[in-house]
Amino acid sequence: MQTDTIETIQARLSLLASYLTPSEMEDVRQRALAHAADWQQLLDDAAHAIANYMSPQDDAAAVLAMRWATLFRSSHAGSDAALDAKVRFAYEREPGLSAHIGPQVRDFMRHALLHLHQPLPAGAMQVAGPKPSALSVAHLRAAHQLLDQPLILDDPLALTILGPDGEAALRANPQQYDNPVAAVMRTTIAVRSRLAEDCWHAAQEQGVSQYAILGAGLDTSAWRGKLPAPAAVYEVDLPGVQQWKRERLHAAGMSEPQGLRFIAVDFARQNLHETMRTAGFSWEQPAFFSWLGVSMYLCEDEVMQTLSTIAQSAPGSSIVFDYLLDPKLLSAMERSAMQMFGARLAAQGEPWRCHFVPEQLEARLRQLGFHHIQHFAAGQLSERYLSGRSDGLRLGGTTRLLRAFT
């Protein structure tokens, strides 16, 4: 096992410089040095467990996983959730930050963390700040504004919501997202958001005046353009994410638009119907729902429960959401990409939990009460949003979008 000396710690932490402010860097540096011996002990213990053929599903492996998760936060961000999200995002982008960990230990701990991870128990407190995956999506949406012309999604606030330091860092080096993998990811994110916004505008033309953004994350659509009365937008997400987002936009001088309401909810634990009704949403009036980048992080039963609730909304309502395709339907290269990204997300505590076959999903949606299902394959979306481009942007094949109508 490689010894993590002060020199190697400093070298690894230098990779964080483009992601953190100088004061954040100093905080992380002090924590990393203070916990260097703790990490060495944990890495040694993990190597010993592997040498003794311990399974990542064993109770003893769960203890190692808990030590790993606790030590990662203690040695990087402490209780600062926003800083923790930035650090984890950097780890996604910089393989060198984990280069001192042998591949056997890395793989063992990834599986142990995946097995350990469970939804927060009822009553647990959600700290402020977006999850690393939400922050990653925000950076890719912002990078789209700088790298791609013409824009698929015109979102001038995508940079603002990163905060002054985050925006400055991205403007200084947008090329960090200018590689084939990042191009597919930012294209997929831009297209799914554009489709949802186009469907919302089409729904408005049909007299729909309620827009519920489920798992809104750092989406800025409610801040862009005036809402015609009596239209209302409901952002539905974890309270910690909402708090962090509102603070960022307030600090940038962005006032909350009239007609925007926030509904704090945990899709895995709370009754969506009652929570939204209490917040003023009318289930007796038609509504448009978007639900992007969420379903894959929930168990299949949780996904179906949310969709069952939406299916009970007033006639004329609809939902656009994305989901992971069953790996059996993917090419070998697509399956490899899915496994790679899934492993990264699992290692940071956000494992993918379900996937679907489109025909089977449609059958289940009809059983729930949806009357019309509109599928959006990559070819159809490419023709709509990517035709005529000369930059070679293309969509990934691991996810699908659909729109279901009540």
pLDDT above 90: residue 321: yes
pLDDT of residue 158: 93
Beta-bridge partners for 321: 291, 402
pLDDT top residue among 3 and 52: 52
pLDDT above 80: residue 85: no
The stretches of 81-162 forming alpha helices (DSSP H) are 81-93, 103-116, 132-147, 157-160
Residue indicated by tokens 């936060």: 73
pLDDT above 80: residue 99: no
pLDDT above 50: residue 296: yes
Distance between CA atoms of 342 and 398, rounded to whole angstroms?
11
Distance between CA atoms of 379 and 389, rounded to whole angstroms?
14
pLDDT tens per residue, range 230-240: 789 999 998 87
pLDDT top residue among 81 and 144: 144
Going by pLDDT thresholds of 50, 70 and 90, the confidence category of residue 78 is: confident
pTM, two decimal places: 0.72
Distance between CA atoms of 195 and 188, rounded to whole angstroms?
11
Which positions ≥6 away from 25 have C-beta within 8 Å?
Answer: 13, 16, 17
pLDDT top residue among 190 and 54: 190
Distance between CA atoms of 26 and 23, rounded to whole angstroms?
5
pLDDT above 70: residue 122: no
pLDDT of residue 121: 43
pLDDT top residue among 360 and 240: 360
- Cα R_g (the chain), whole angstroms: 22
pLDDT of residue 176: 84
pLDDT tens per residue, range 363-398: 999 999 999 999 999 999 999 999 999 999 999 889
* Residue 26 CB coordination number (10 Å): 11
pLDDT above 90: residue 136: no
Ordered domains of the chain (ranges, CATH): 6-116 (no CATH), 132-405 (3.40.50.150)
